[in-house]
Amino acid sequence: MHWKNTTDRYSSLSIAMHWLMLLLLVAIYACIELRELYPKGSDPREALKQWHFMLGLAVFALVWLRLALRMAGASPKVRPAAGRWQHRLAVVVHLALYIFMIVMPLLGWLLLSAEGKPVPFFGLELPALVGTDAAFADSIQAVHETIGTIGYYLVGLHAVAALFHHYVLRDNTVLLMLPRRRRGRDDREPIHSRGELQ
């Protein structure tokens, strides 16, 4: 498995991490939404909350690896090249997503700490970041929920942008983040020149 990006392609590890993070985010949102199907205090509801916290902390742990991979190598070139405004918008959205993946788990960790509850992490119990404080917990929860809602739109915007690049601009943005399907395929070639998806 190649771990370093090049100007022509994301590494296998970067591609795997991208899709793993997506699956984790989907699972995190699913857990917190599905808990509403069960009454308060029930075992399934509590289990879903526990998984929500643990998967959120898993994102917090893995996002640093993603950042390291991004900084370790070059970024692949989009072909045909995107316009300057598109590049700037992509940078802003990616930055917002990284901030989201760092801040949200930290807020969850702070929330559990301020509520005086254990902070579970796959059989471990992480230390509290602050002492028990009900008023602070209420404030953190409000911020956590607000940023969580913003996260829906960030992930959605990222997905829509990928589809726009693939089907409207017809560049190689999406192909760069997909595993190579057969040896010798040149992902640098624009979609419209290969006759694919027509």
54-94 pLDDT, tens digit per residue, is: 999 999 999 999 998 888 777 888 888 878 888 898 889 99
Return the closest-CA partner of residue 63 out of 102, 22, 23, 27. Answer: 102
The least confident of 59-68, 86-95, 128-137, 140-149 is 86-95
Hey, how many other C-beta atoms are within 10 angstroms of the C-beta on 131? 9
Dihedral over alpha carbons 41, 46, 52, 57 (to 10 degrees): 110
Average pLDDT (171-192) is 65
Give the pLDDT score at 7.
80
Q: Which CATH code fits 12-180?
A: 1.20.950
